[in-house]
Amino acid sequence: MAGMKMINQADVVLAMGSRMGPFGTLPQYGFDYWPQNAKTIQVDSNHRVLGLVREVEVGILGDVRLTANEMLSRLQEGELACSVNKEERMKQMNQAKEEWEAQLNKECMVEESTMAPKRALRELEKAMPENAMISTDIGNICSVANSYLRFKKPDSFLAAMSFGNCGYAFPVAMGAKMAAPDRPAIAYVGDGAWGISLNETITCVRQNIPVVVCLFNNKQWGAEKKNQIDYYRD
């Protein structure tokens, strides 16, 4: 939410290696955050992606790393207009982050007979090793989990995102563990996705791949249920 509040104030959006798909630009938490009047610069190595989802003022076809290095070298040559209020904007960002963290804490500290899902996510976040690699499946709980994950190392967050491929998290965590055996690999999985991940357990056992699965069981296909309620309530 903090990031959405900040980008909502932008007059220019620089999207590098992002196709700006619907799951990343549509309203969330009841907030239509995408800046409607901002100019957009999009950089991608795939020409089909440029301007595909949203109109752009400048589309750059190229490697993101090379383009970023070239842009940085040119920007360092002069004084940027945005530097004038840099400290003020950083203060606003930090305040927005603090407010969002406070809201997350408030939402997860609710009195129930069993532990609330958001409380479980917060406790998992606190216990997570700093070098952990976490994969999240699709579904309601895994979407909510994004707000309760913090990373300090690259190559740590592996999410299905807009691909929507159910049963993604467990095999991806296995692959991540094979690639980085010195780092813990954890998969966040709902009961629906876990039901179609059982084949991977055979491979996991046979190949001795030590992966941890956090299984959230609400005894339903929650995302599909929510869509049916939202679109076919009547």
Q: What is the pLDDT along the chain (234 residues), one digit of tens a residue?
A: 788 888 898 999 999 998 888 777 888 778 888 888 999 999 999 999 999 988 999 999 999 999 999 999 988 877 888 888 889 989 999 999 999 889 888 888 777 767 788 888 999 999 999 999 999 998 787 778 888 898 989 999 998 877 778 899 999 999 999 999 999 999 999 988 898 888 899 999 999 999 999 999 888 888 788 778 888 876
pLDDT at 157: 93
**Length reported for the chain:** 234
pTM of the model: 0.80
pLDDT at 39: 94
Signed CA dihedral, 102, 107, 111, 114: sign only:
negative
Under 8 Å between Cβ of 105 and 128: no
Tokens standing for 192? 């629906």
**Residue located via tokens 């299905």:** 160
pLDDT at 175: 96
